[in-house]
Structure 1
Amino acid sequence: MAKAFDDNERKLIKDKLKEGALLFIQQQGVRKTSVDELVKYANISKGAFYLFYTSKELLFFDTIIDYHKKLEKEFLNAINKHTDNITVDTLTDIISDLLINNKPYFVSAFANCDVEYLSRKLPQEVLSKHVDDDVMLANELLKFIPENKSIDAKVFAGALRAAFLTILNEKTIGTDIYNKVFKFMVRGIVQQLFKD
Structure 2
Amino acid sequence: MPRFSDNEKEVIRQRLLTEGERLFTTFGLKKVSIDEIIAATGIAKGSFYAFYPSKEHLFMDIAVSQQEKMWSEMVAFLQEHSDLSPRELVKQTVMFMLGQFSRYPLIQSIDGDTTDYLFRKLPKEVIEAHTKDDSAELLKLEQYGVHFTCDISVVTKILQMLAVNFFNLSQEEEKIRTEIINIMLDGILKEIVRENK
Q: TM-score normalised by the shorter chain: which range applies? A: 0.7 to 0.9
Residues 71, 98 of structure 1: 8 Å contact kept: yes
Distance 1:28 1:63, change over 3 A: same
State the alpha-carbon separation in 2 of the partners of residues 129 and 40 from structure 1.
Answer: 30
Cα deviations across residues 2-30 of structure 1 (Å, max 9, x unaligned)?
A: 54111111111111111111111211111
Unmatched segments (≥5 aa) in structure 2: none
2:82 counterpart SS class: coil
Q: C-alpha displacement at 1:171, in angstroms?
A: 6.0
Distance 1:165 1:42, change over 3 A: same
- The one-letter amino acid paired with 1:41 is A
1:115 match: 115
- The one-letter amino acid paired with 1:108 is S
Q: TM-score, normalised by structure 2?
A: 0.86
Distance 1:187 1:8, change over 3 A: farther
- The one-letter amino acid paired with 1:27 is T
Cα deviations across residues 53-95 of structure 1 (Å, max 9, x unaligned)?
A: 0111100111111111111111111112223445433431221
Q: C-alpha displacement at 1:114, in angstroms?
A: 1.7
Matches within 5 A, 1:43-58: 43-58=42-57
Q: TM-score, normalised by structure 1?
A: 0.87
State the alpha-carbon separation in 1 of the partners of residues 159 and 137 from structure 2.
Answer: 11
Residues 20, 38 of structure 1: 8 Å contact kept: yes
State the alpha-carbon separation in 1 of the partners of residues 153 and 11 from structure 2.
Answer: 36
Pairing 1:41–2:40 present: yes
2:182 match: 183
Residues 21, 38 of structure 1: 8 Å contact kept: yes
Unmatched segments (≥5 aa) in structure 1: none
Residues 145, 194 of structure 1: 8 Å contact kept: no
Q: C-alpha displacement at 1:101, in angstroms?
A: 3.1
2:18 counterpart SS class: helix
- The one-letter amino acid paired with 2:94 is I
1:133 match: 133
1:109 counterpart SS class: coil
Which has the larger displacement, 54-63 or 137-146? 137-146
Q: C-alpha displacement at 1:183, in angstroms?
A: 2.7
Q: Where in structure 1 do 4 or more consecutive aligned residues deviate above 6 Å? A: none
Q: C-alpha displacement at 1:149, in angstroms?
A: 6.4
State the alpha-carbon separation in 2 of the partners of residues 149 and 131 from structure 1.
Answer: 17
Cα RMSD of the aligned pairs, angstroms, is: 2.2
Aligned length: 192
1:163 match: 162
Residues 110, 167 of structure 2: 8 Å contact kept: no
Q: C-alpha displacement at 1:139, in angstroms?
A: 1.6
1:194 counterpart SS class: coil
